[in-house]
Amino acid sequence: MSEADPIFEARAGSMQTHAVNGAVAIGLAQLVKLPFQAASLLLLPRLLTPVDYGVYAMVEPIIGAMGLFLNFGVGQAIIQSPGINRTEASGLFWVQTIAGLIGAVFMFATAPFVAGLYHEPRAAPVIEVCALLVAIGGLTNVQEALLNRQMRFGWIASINAAGVAIGLIVGVIAAVMGAHYWALAFDYAATTVVSLVGAWLGVRWLPRERPHFRSAIRFYKFGGALMVSDGAALVARQADAVLIGRFSGAQQLGLYDRGNKLALTSLQRITAVLQYILVPVLSRLAEDGPRYRRAYLKVMRLLLLVAYCPPMPFGSSGLLMEL
């Protein structure tokens, strides 16, 4: 076990305080994002056609697969690790950066083949442009995980809200100018750049130290099993879209994609709490078995309650107080 560097740990305070502050911050971010998410569901469809959504939906599975493979579960491994020092963080950063560049080259090279699979040549240039965003993801993954480990939930929520807002504004402007499916790609690009800038500004650490790659292997051992699980979930979630795009075309895929995303909006709000608050908080309780067990059971009861009731932005604060 490596000695924890204080720069990568949460500031002083109880887990209860961090959990409640995180719930409030994400609740506020949800309120800020709500009008932009509504505009994305109501305004953009008036400016774009189902074919535009379908062409971009053909690209999303390969973006998701590349992002999942390149991250390799390292983000979660960083968050849950008992300790991480600067040389390990530097090693992870450079591995992720190199992997992002390799993934971008691979994605660019395979763009014509993916477009051929869909019989949709318009998908190829979109994949080639999005390959650059995969490289940017390699520069962002470690910083985002370190932010989450530091439990800087307010900053994370601000980045997410700013990304949604700026991405929508860019996408709407592009759609008004007649960019068609490129408007959706520009939306994603703007959100990616906001995440990059926000993560680097928030983490307050630069990878100046000489990287120690061997000690970083333990993070990939942990992340490997997680990647397999997430990969199976990705296949289950995206296989239907790939088949619809392959055999029914862009228009039918666009209609299916819009309905599917609308149905998953509430679920995404729940997973935001899981991803940004519960994982780092419960990880810090891992050494205290009884307390971890009590917190876990309370969280499960909360999730079951939310699953059967309309989600409220601050609905998790009460139970998180008891962590």
How does DSSP classify residue 309? S
Instruction: State residue 225's pLDDT score.
Output: 81
pTM confidence score: 0.83
Whether 8 contacts 84, CB under 8 Å = yes
Whether 123 contacts 115, CB under 8 Å = yes
For 298, phi then psi, to 5°, come to -65, -40
SS3 208: coil
Q: Tens of pLDDT along 22-69?
A: 667 777 777 777 788 777 878 888 899 999 999 999 999 999 899 888
How many helices and strands (H and E) does the chain possess?
14, 0
Q: Tens of pLDDT along 233-267?
A: 888 888 899 999 999 999 999 999 888 877 776 66
Whether 255 contacts 50, CB under 8 Å = yes
**How does 59-73 read in b/e, with b if 16+ C-beta sit within 10 Å?**
bbbbbebbbbebbbb
